[in-house]
Amino acid sequence: QGGGGGTGSDALSRYRSPLVSRYAGAEMAFVFSERNKFGTWRRLWLFLAQAEKSLGLPITDEQIQEMEANLDNIDFKMAAEEEKRLRHDVMAHVHTFAHCCPKAAAIIHLGATSCYVGDNTDLIVLRDGLNLLLPQLARVISRLAEFAEKYADLPTLGFTHYQPAQLTTVGKRCCLWIQDLCMDLQNLERARDNLRFRGVKGTTGTQASFLQLFEGDHSKVEELDRLVTEKAGFKRSYMVTGQTYSRKVDIEVLSVLASLGASVHKICTDIRLLANLKEIEEPFEKDQIGSSAMPYKRNPMRSERCCSLARHLMTLIMDPLQTASVQWFERTLDDSANRRVCLAEAFLTADIILSTLQNISEGLVVYPKVIDRRIRQELPFMATENIIMAMVKAGGNRQDCHEKIRVLSQQAAAVVKQEGGDNDFIARVRADPYFSPIHKQLDSLLDPSSFIGRAPQQVAKFLKEEVRPALIPYQSKMGGKIELTL
């Protein structure tokens, strides 16, 4: 059975997605597992039978009890053999369920179409997947909020175009990351809350088979739809469907996951750049090896992994976009194989990047002295306007002062760029008698904290008024630190 000399029973001889074998958490992997999928199918058949019985169809308590007793008694080998024979996955599992429920065999899947179990299960899985991702994302935001609060006052060099710009603080920069993630949290909540159940709609969405079962009683068909929707844990079902629920639902869900991927990619790119500057580093284990050739290296491999997988997550949105656009009339089956891949991979990838980012955010290392040194290299030029204002207050001429500073700053820049030396602009100012009226003020004029504006106040207000309220629903799920096995 296996290619390349392997055997079908040898797992190492067959490809396994690293999303599951290497990275994903057990809970998310279970949500998209075969056992969960087919176990959910059986529960949906049970919900349908219970609701049909309650509305007067001739289904016995014994049949219901038999189904309840065998919900997890799935003979996967038999199901595989049946699917190979029938070329139909749903009917293979109908037969397999019926085999262990002989008394209920006649009423399993009564009035339903394949999408009753297929699409409804997908909606349950999407909901459950979002419910797993939300507290994970909240934990990341919480950890970063703690970091932002701790370093709210620590000045650091800002960058625009990746060129030195006005100062900000380490905490304020972190709040830029948090703000993006809070938007993602809101979007994930909206996507989950907007999900509806497909319900019982029949082969083309008209509910004709159920109307026939209930002998033209429209109220019973509507009540059947409501009962099954309620049993599945949904408040509403889609009022109109074709054979499937609209594939635009998949677009809505994967678009917010792709947006999350963009946020994580930006955050981890910033961390990688800061690691290169030696200002901030991600956690690095005692025995971790950065390079097989260069023992001294401390590569930001966790952030790199997040960026790598985030790119994959962002590209997956193209699948549901194209699938939704090519669904003909009430449904075509060219959605099926594609959705088996893209939906699971999107959630598994999101799960991985969030758990990895949580690990990063719980162990970020800051090097204040390196940050201060870089500020001291750039701050003298940024302080020129302050120096001019101080000289004018001391009785100097603004234009004369401007020319003096222009000459001295260009001389200092030449030392930095042409000679590779340190920025000696302030030393030149101190040595120039023209600036003697403000020599005693230079230290205060160069205090980095006077260049950060309202950054600390912005951090405090943002965390208090926007971040912490958004995290309230997840307080019971904050958990402990996360450890990565790889």
Residues acting as catalytic residues: 161, 291
Phi, psi of 197 (to 5 degrees): -90, 145
Cβ burial of 83 (10 Å; 0-12, 13-18, 19+) is: middle
Three-state DSSP class for residue 157: strand
Look at residues 56, 35, 43, 34 and name the one whose alpha carbon lies nearest to residue 233.
Answer: 43
